[in-house]
Structure 1
Amino acid sequence: MITIAGGIYRERCMRPAWDDIYGSAGRAATAIARFGGQAELHAYVDGDTQVVMEARAAAEGFAFNPTVSPQAGVTFEYIHGLATPDIRRGVHASSQLQVTAEKVLRFGMIDGTAVVNAEYAVFDPQNAEGPESFSANGSTAKHLALVLNRHEANLLLPDSNGLPPEEIAAALATQERAEVVVIKMGPLGALVYDNGIISRVPAYRTERVWKIGSGDTFAAHFALAWLDNGLSAHEAASTASIATAFYCETQGFPDKTLFDRFKPKALQPSERYRNGYAPKVYLAGPFFTLAELWMVGQARRDLIDMGLNVFSPYHDVGLGTAEDVVEKDLEGVRDCDVLFAIGDGLDSGTIYEIGYARALNKPVVFYAENESAQDKKMMEGSACRITDDYVSAVYQMVWEAVEL
């Protein structure tokens, strides 16, 4: 039995459309139960959330132990899966769960904290601004594993910027008195520190990427494998990485049969990327209306946040006559490693840039939600990667870039 402590929240997303109640702890309970594990979920909820989670617990087969308060109730509003959510709550409240159990999966919470007393614990701080130490609220565990991303690791360990991840993991293990530290590093997969031994597990490519909740899924499957199934930390992280790829691909949770059938392709970053090279991406797309400018700006920020070096004609060349801008734009295409195309509207300049990039044998990801198969025929026939989902397009671009 794994006891899960953390938040249950409503999640709403505009693109793709999504409106459901999960949160880190709720999603982890479903993930563990679907995979055949036994779970007991502890969370702070309002009355409406309690009804939904009790029904889900009955359907999925996990135990639910709520602390009910009308002051609870948090909603995460996303424009898309890579966007920073707008977090809404009716009344500001801070809960403190008290959990004592042999095996605990604890998540950081937006609306409070969980004080854990466990024999074995997995802790995912889940805080992009100020993750707290596991023991900061009085939590204790004889055997502790940390699961966190590189940004959270840097925040949790002062003055760690610039240090290699191996040193960060070892220092965190000492600081947090943890036996295991798993640092998720995007395209580079995950680094696993296990009592002084360092190993890595790969990330996996998928056709589509549903990002919301992917970190919850990783932590849940790692906890089940390490706490309950007796796998090593490396084996548990490997299982978690594949299960997370399944979740991103399908927006669902694998059982053991589905997991065994799922054979994603491991991402293989190039040596130059591993050595710190930031691939250059040309951002092609129209920028003649406010909506188009918003889309270009959004894509530019997200690609930069993913570690790419972005050349944007609007930002780096600007507006002007053909004599002023065309040769500069084409030079940008020649200098890039990959091209990301915003295709809705079939802007003539964007289509020309796609053709020019493919003539130079540069990979192209073509993102368009509203264009017909007929209008995308040339892109399809010239081996562009085509998707109608924005987040999937960004990840496809990153994966293409890092393998070059």
Structure 2
Amino acid sequence: MITIVGGVYRERCMRPAWDDIYGSAGRAATAIARFGGKAELQAYVDSTSEVVLDARAAAEGFQFNAVALKEGVTFEYIHGLSTPDIRRGTQRNSMLQINAEKVLRFGMIDGTAVIEAKYAVFDPQNADGPESFKANGSKAEHLALVLNRHEAHQLVSDSRDLSPQELATALASQEGAEVVVIKMGPLGALVYDKGSISHVPAYRTKRVWKIGSGDTFAAHFALGWMDSGLSAHEAAANASIATAFYCENQGFADPALLASFNPEPLQPSERYRNGYSPMVYLAGPFFTLAELWMVGQARRDLLSMGLNVFSPYHDVGVGSAEDVVEKDLEGVRDCDVLFAIGDGLDSGTIYEIGYARALNKTVVFYAENESKQDVKMMEGSDCRIIDDYVSAIYQTVWEAVEL
């Protein structure tokens, strides 16, 4: 039995449309139970969330122990890569006390969980100020940390110049952890296990449902490492594939579904592994406020993924043909991949796409509202045509890092 403790929150997303009650702990309980593991969820919930989770626990086969909360927390997303608007309840600094043999603990928005366990997996889930596992008095005989590289740097002081291997080693020593798993985006995950270092790949998927992907990874890692007797490397490898299934299907795998799922491992190029940041040309109209917002959003998301971005609006500006055209075309020539915002079929954007394809540049064409007839030329010239924004951003990253 794995005891799961953390947040249960309402999640709402505009594109693609989503409105459900999961949160990190609620999602992990479903992921583990769906895969055949025994799980017990302990969380603060309001009355609405309790009804939903009671029904889900009965359907999925996990135990649910609710602690009453007057008002819950809601995460509001524009899309899966956006920074959510967090609507908090009135209760503050709640504390759960957990004593169990195996515990999966997540960081929480308005409180913490003090645990005492034989085995524990901890995912801090906080980009701004992740909490040390032992800061609140939590104890575990065998501890594994699962976190991303940014959270790892936040936890270890003066760590900016450390390699991922050095960062994992420092974190293990600081936190008293046997295992540290650092998720590193396209580079997959680094696994530190009692001094030994290994890596597991990330995977390409047809689509990317980002919300909850980290929860799914932590859940499957915990199930493999604490419950199934797998090594840390094996558990992380299984978790990476299960997370790819979740991202592609916006749902949870059972053993049979995962056995038949064969995603393509991402294979970053040597130059990317050696620190090269690929250049993406951001093509799209910027003549209305909505268009400017979309260009700015895409630029921020691509930059946050570690890519360099050439944006005609930001890097050249608005001007006459003599002022801007040659500079824009030079940007296309110098880029590794072109990301095109295609809705509206802006003439300048279409020209940039054609120029890029004539130079044999990879083009990712994002459009939600154009007909198959209208994108026929892009399809026929081997552009990657995608109608989901987050999936298009990830496809751009994957194409860029493999060059």
| TM-score normalised to structure 2 length | 0.99
Matched to 1:46, the amino acid is: D
Map 1:3-402 onto structure 2 (within 5 A): 3-70=3-70, 72-402=71-401
Give yes or no for contact 2:69–2:91 (8 Å, CA) kept in 1: no
Shift of 1:48: 1.0
Large movers: runs of 4+ above 4 Å: none
| TM-score normalised to structure 1 length | 0.99
Partners in 1 of 2:91 and 2:97 — Cα distance? 20
Partners in 2 of 1:377 and 1:254 — Cα distance? 35
Partners in 2 of 1:213 and 1:90 — Cα distance? 21
Shift of 1:179: 0.2
1:210-267 deviation digits (Å, cap 9, x = unpaired): 0000000000000000000000000000000000000000000000000000000000
Shift of 1:69: 2.2
Matched to 1:294, the amino acid is: W
Partners in 1 of 2:309 and 2:155 — Cα distance? 29
Partners in 2 of 1:321 and 1:129 — Cα distance? 43
Partners in 1 of 2:268 and 2:372 — Cα distance? 31
Partners in 2 of 1:13 and 1:109 — Cα distance? 20
Unaligned runs of 5+ in 1: none
Shift of 1:92: 4.2
Give yes or no for contact 2:285–2:341 (8 Å, CA) kept in 1: yes
Partners in 1 of 2:212 and 2:227 — Cα distance? 22
Partners in 2 of 1:91 and 1:231 — Cα distance? 41
Give yes or no for contact 2:188–2:199 (8 Å, CA) kept in 1: yes
Identity %: 81
Partner SS, residue 4 of structure 1 = strand
Partners in 2 of 1:91 and 1:69 — Cα distance? 9
Partners in 2 of 1:384 and 1:236 — Cα distance? 36
Shift of 1:154: 0.2
Partners in 1 of 2:44 and 2:298 — Cα distance? 36
Shift of 1:323: 1.2
Matched to 2:2, the amino acid is: I
Partners in 1 of 2:211 and 2:265 — Cα distance? 21
Partners in 1 of 2:59 and 2:131 — Cα distance? 34
Q: Cα RMSD between the aligned structures?
A: 0.6
Partners in 1 of 2:171 and 2:28 — Cα distance? 24
1:90-144 deviation digits (Å, cap 9, x = unpaired): 3142210111100000000002101100000000000000001101011000000
